[in-house]
Amino acid sequence: MDFNPADAGGVQESALLPDGEYRLTVVEAEERISSKGNEMIALTLSGEGQSVRNDRIFEYLVSTPGAVFRIEQFCASAGLDKEFKSGHLTADQCKGRIVKALINTEKGRDGYGDRNRVAEYMPISKGISTSPQITPSHTPIDESTIPF
């Protein structure tokens, strides 16, 4: 296996999404217990189609009274209002959902570089599906884009 050792330098600031509003897809969701013993869902969000190397954003929906507002924001953006009102949300219900979020850059600390974070989830306009999307197993090739 060959690799470039210079790539180990961490995420470059230019590899982050610029601060702003984005449509993001929940590409992974996993139910976990936080370090303080609270139930949570760990989300991996992707700003697909963005021209940056590191478009993954990690988010945690934690079941504590002080964090329920974040679960409410996420559910409103993801079209999971009924699930929020029921007081029960699963990782499977989150996977594949499309959300709209305000993204900003958090300064690095403890030896880690800067990273993107969700500042706020926002409702998506009516008419835009937030349901999990079914993607084809292959993408048709446009012969005009082949470089040879």
Round to whole Å and give the CA distance between 142 and 33: 45
CA 96 remoteness from chain centre: 10
pLDDT in tens, 38-86: 999 999 999 865 555 557 899 999 999 999 999 999 999 999 999 999 9
Closest listed residue to residue 68, CA positions, set 102, 97, 39, 100: 39
Closest listed residue to residue 80, CA positions, set 103, 60, 101, 98: 98
pLDDT in tens, 126-148: 544 454 544 444 445 555 555 54
Provide the β-strand partners of residue 101: 22, 121
Closest listed residue to residue 97, CA positions, set 117, 82, 75, 72: 75
pTM of the model: 0.74
Domains belonging to the chain, first-starting first, are 15-125 (2.40.50)
